[in-house]
A and B are shown apart, each in its own frame.
Chain A
Amino acid sequence: MTALSPTTDTVGKTRKPFAEFCRRFLRQKVALLALAFLVALVFTAVFAPWVAPYDPSAPDYMNVLQGPSAAHWAGTDTYGRDIFSRILWGARISLAVGFLSVTLGAIGGVGMGIVAGYYGGWTDSLVMRLCDLLLAFPGILLAIAVIAILGPGITNVIYAVAIFSIPVFARLARGTTLQLKQAVYVDAARAVGVADPVIMLRHILPGTLPNVIVYFSMRIGTSILTAAALSFIGLGAQPPSPEWGAMLADGRTYMGVADHLTLFPGLAIFLTVLGFNLLGDGLRDALDPKLRSH
């Protein structure tokens, strides 16, 4: 992926990179749809206490394991809790875990990547070897190892998933930094005596952002999936938390009897992750039309 550069259209006037990016992004119907869905989801999550028709943790033993109905859109679980309300509350958990872990991972990774790329030499080797080390633990394994040290729980899942995002962002930021380091404006800044930290923050960081944002979106999908998987195998959010993965684990005993227990939480995870992946695809294509065919 290359950074955006001003492009010239047929009339010959130069467009600003950001305007060009927006114009290209707005043409992508699927990505826009995904964005609309995600915005709606974020709103429902934030306003869940007002939007949710029932208290997500209030048991109702008169209405246990009921299928979807007008009163309970997604049915009720073993304690008679309204599944639709639990899914709305669960959105808060999944989105918060996704955003927080990827933000932490991106800050850590981008910071490390820029410093490594800018200084080169042993700093670079050190950071890159650290990334090699983190990448040597495939997929969810690193997160499980972190959970084994910190103990199960949703807060620890955030750290675990954050650490698992660091090396990817570090490599991405380092690559862009190596390119930008050669840029004339960085040379100029250095020549007039701007301090290194200022150059990195003011002149290099903004250049790495376009790629980081594309990756950010895709990574949130992966992180939500990983966090739900950890909760599903009992290492993340613990019951009675309305976390989607934990709800699925809860409902698996009732398959064939009350399918809605596993249907709706799974659908929620799938649609959310799909939304972030489609948005990420759209952002990537808008950022670099050369990759569009890919």
Chain B
Amino acid sequence: MLSYLIKRLLGAIPVVLMVTLAVFAFVHLLPGDPARLVAGPEATAQDVEAVRTALGLDKPLPQQFATYLSNTVQGDFGTSLKTRRPVAEEIGMRLMPTIWLTVFAMVWAVAVGLLIGVISAVRRGRWPDYTGMIVAVSGISFPPFWLGLLLINLFSVRLGWLPTGGYGTWQHFIMPSFTLGLGVAAVMARFTRSAFIEIAREDYVRTARAKGVPERRVIWRHSLRNALIPIITMVGLQFGFLLGGSIVVESVFSWPGVGRLLVDSVSYRDYPVIQALVLMFSLQFILINLLVDVLYVFANPEIRYK
């Protein structure tokens, strides 16, 4: 089991390096001179040269990449063009709100998704199944930013029950995490249903039934446990969806997180911040996938005892 984990960990290194290289190349793919971008449009030719030397943009590319890599590892992402503050500080301030939002969204979405999926599978072909699957396909197709607006309109503008946006109390979390999680809950419901139906055809489920194990136990003990393996993988994939989704949802609810920072930075062309955020989002995603693999090992005895 340990050797499997080590192998998996080593396998992630090339992807991490490639992602870092791509993010590094990002600034060089931009139209125009990076030194001029940093110096600003009003800078003189001299200023631009000074910035170029200061940032090491006059050095050969491999050397620049090495510097970038070593700075990144030390948590130095440069300075924001907009606020002139260290990028790491800008991101640090906004990281926790995004993490909490993602976690809340994930927790309810997986719980509800699993429940709907199991009910649909057990009542397959009857009305709970149809209702569940109609809700699920609608959830997948629902534009999260529209859902956010509808919720704000109903619960904030009309009823005045919840704040329209911002961050602070638990009330602030309700609408954003519901909006962010809906798509994931829908995907989880569909996926759980199919994983469950697949499992129900297995011999051990039939055996359990045949020897008189109560139906409730067959469902929760024998079926769900085995369906968990593919479900865990799916949860990991959905994290990527949530990370991407947080960018849009944070914009709807004025959430002070990294997603909204990214959108603002793109509008402002604050390249050091964009670069750092793109790197952070994708490294998070790779890390989560790694974690999923670890969980997978624990959930699947076949790998565990190898």
Min CB gap A125→B, angstroms: 10
Stretch with Cβ within 8 A of B (4 or more), from A21-29, A45-53, A196-204, A231-239: A231-239
Q: Do the beta carbons of A274 and B240 come within 8 Å of each other?
A: no
- The answer to whether B55 has its CB under 8 Å from any CB of chain A is no
Contact A149 B26 (CB under 8 A): yes
Interface residues on A, range: 35 or more
Interface centre among B143, B150, B239, B274 (most CB of A within 10 A): B143
A15 at the interface (CB under 8 A from B): no
Chain A residues near B31: list those with CB within 8 A: 149
Q: What's the tally of chain B residues with a CB closer than 8 Å to chain A?
A: 50
- In this complex, what residue of A is CB-closest to B248? A229
Give the interface SS of chain B, mostly helix, strand, loop or mixed. Answer: helix
Taken together as a complex, chains A and B put the C-alpha atoms of A137 and B284 apart, in Å, by 10
Is A138 positioned at the interface, with any CB of B under 8 Å from its CB?
A: yes
B146 to A262, Cβ gap below 8 A? yes
- Complex contacts, A139 vs chain B, CB 8 Å: 240-241, 243-245
Given contacts A270-B141, A274-B137, contact A141 B26 (CB under 8 A): no
Q: Is A259 an interface residue (CB 8 A)?
A: yes
CA distance A152 to B263 in the complex (A): 11
Q: Is B278 an interface residue (CB 8 A)?
A: yes
**B64 beta carbon closer than 8 Å to chain A:** no
B153 close to A (CB within 8 Å): yes
Query: 1/0 per residue A259-294: CB within 8 Å of B?
Result: 100100110011001100110010000000000011
A contact residues around B286 at 8 Å (CB): 136
Contacts A232-B145, A273-B143, A294-B197; is A138 near B15 (CB within 8 Å)? no
Using Cβ atoms and an 8 Å threshold, which residues of chain B touch A140?
244-245, 247-248
Q: Is A55 an interface residue (CB 8 A)?
A: no
Which of A136, A147, A228, A255 is B266 in contact with, Cβ under 8 Å?
A: A147
Residues of B participating in the A interface, judged by any CB pair closer than 8 Å = 14-15, 18-19, 22, 26, 29-31, 124, 137-138, 140-146, 149-150, 152-153, 157-158, 193-194, 197-198, 239-241, 243-245, 247-248, 251, 262-263, 266-267, 269, 271, 274, 278, 281-282, 285-286
Residues of A bordering B, CB below 8 Å: 129, 132-133, 136-141, 144-145, 147-149, 152, 221, 225, 228-229, 232-235, 245, 248, 252, 255-256, 259, 262, 265-266, 269-270, 273-274, 277-278, 281, 293-294
